[in-house]
Amino acid sequence: MLTKCKISVAKSAGFCFGVDRAIKMVYNELDNRNNIVTLGPIIHNQNVVDDLKARGVYPVELDEVRNGQTVVIRSHGVGSDVYDKLKELDAEVVDATCPFVAKIHNIAREKSAAGHVILIAGDASHPEVKGIM
């Protein structure tokens, strides 16, 4: 027997602040320039990635970035070595790193420089963990 039920959507449903911000940054860049790529998929949502592809924005790996290209760093952030490589390639960098993630990067960098041992729990191959490391 079927009973009636009410389906409610939480007020906080949808993308988190950092992901929402990153997506908006990519779409805003489309108004200003061409030849935009994202360093990896901008989000773990194939519909958004496919929409961006339809507009000419493709996810690439670092070794696929061409000189002078506009590269959007996704909300997960990246390590300082990636910024260095992008600078070598004279890439126009649009840094969409979530401010909360960037704060974690700064804390890890400062504490590590001060000699503290930093323990990071997570998948070592995940972009956000790599960025913190």
Tokens of 59: 């996810």
Q: Per-residue confidence of the chain (133 residues) as pLDDT tens digits?
A: 667 888 887 777 778 888 899 999 999 998 887 789 999 998 888 999 999 999 999 999 999 999 889 999 998 889 888 999 999 999 999 999 999 989 988 998 999 999 999 888 888 888 788 888 8
Q: Which long-range CB contacts under 8 A does 56-65 form with residues at least 24 apart?
A: 56/30, 57/26, 57/30, 62/86, 64/37, 65/37, 65/39, 65/89, 65/91
Looking at 29, 88, 110, 128, which residue is catalytic?
Answer: 128
Active site residue 64: no
